[in-house]
Amino acid sequence: MSSKVPIFTLSNAVRMPSVGLGTWQMTGDEGKTVIRNAILAGYRHIDTATLYQNEDQIGDALAELFAEGVVKREDLFITTKAFCHEVAPDVIEEALRNSLKRLRLDYVDLYLAHIPAATRECGSHRTDVKVEDIWKGLEKLYSLGLTKSIGVSNFNESQIERIVKIQKVPIHVSQVIHVVSHEIKNSLFQLELHLYLPQKAHREICKKHNIIITAYATLGSPGRMSVIGADGKPLFESTKNIPNELNDKNVKAIAQKYNKTPAQVLLRATVEMGIVVIPKTTNPERMKENINIFDFSISKAEVNLLEAHERSKPERLFWWPNVADHPEDPFAAER
């Protein structure tokens, strides 16, 4: 593992690198190749999900790397997620066990509820399942040892507060970042976070309850436009005119100042906020660039300059249309 990458150390000795590889849209032989390239480039944190349909490929790649002695299981941090049809407490254990079979692992380091709205496999809404029920299901998996830690993804502030009120097994961890000397107890939370959606309200809630944030779409997720919906049109077409942060003038100016790429600036600024990032790329050179972001520092003033770009209307890239009108739709107030 690269010594330059800050590490979050959980209370049960699980080590969570602050930079991981996102694997959405990586399938088939490409998926295996990308994982191999990532491990060789120094990545030790891999983020996947049932929805991504690449757990088999990731499992095959990891098994080969283990057999070759390139890396050991205990050196990796593997995250996967239960999607809408898997988050209900009566099905989530089977879902995780199936993910483990595909990943060819005995446990994952982090298991997330991908979204708080439960559905049936056919897609119809399960209105009988609340976020409190989802959390209780995750707590059971944690107690069974199938996952080293548990968390949520795409939950809104009120849903987080509801979980905090009923949780029996808090995800308490001791976070140690190499650049600081104090310890903070935390839980885990994953959400869309980028320059034009800095999620300040979410960050305040997470700070209040000592929750670690993992950010996805930090680079604006340009690959989202290749996802085609049932009507033959891009599923996220409504977001096509949202500006790309990589072209932001302030990002470019800071990148030029430090002789870095705009992507490196955005990732470094996010980690500077104490947030884990999981950029996705299949390009070996960009993969190296995305993890090699700790040989320069961005000042607080520069971070503030970038954060000043928050829009009056949220520039959300992922609206999850399949859960619109669900009682637990986390974005109902924004639609």
Q: Quick check: is 258 catalytic?
A: no
d(CA 263, CA 288): 12
| Residue given tokens 């069974």 in the structure block | 144
Contact 202, 191 (CB under 8 A): yes
Contacting residues for 102 by C-beta, under 8 A, at least 6 apart: 55, 56, 59
d(CA 291, CA 293): 6
Among residues 54, 149, 146, 28, the alpha carbon closest in space to that of 96 is found at 146
d(CA 85, CA 129): 11
Amino acid letter, 102: R
Tokens read off for 191 = 């959400």
Tokens read off for 85 = 């049809």
**Catalytic-labelled residue, pool 43, 52, 111, 216:** 52
| Torsion angle defined by CA atoms of residues 279, 281, 284 and 290, in that order, rounded to the nearest 10 degrees | -20
The reply, when asked if residue 309 is annotated as ligand binding, is no
Strand partners, 80: 111
CB-count burial class (<10 Å; 0-12, 13-18, 19+) for 259: exposed
Whole-angstrom CA distances from 288 to 40, 53, 69, 214, 254 are: 10, 24, 21, 20, 20
Catalytically active residues, by annotation: 52
Binding residues for substrate: 114
Binding residues: 114
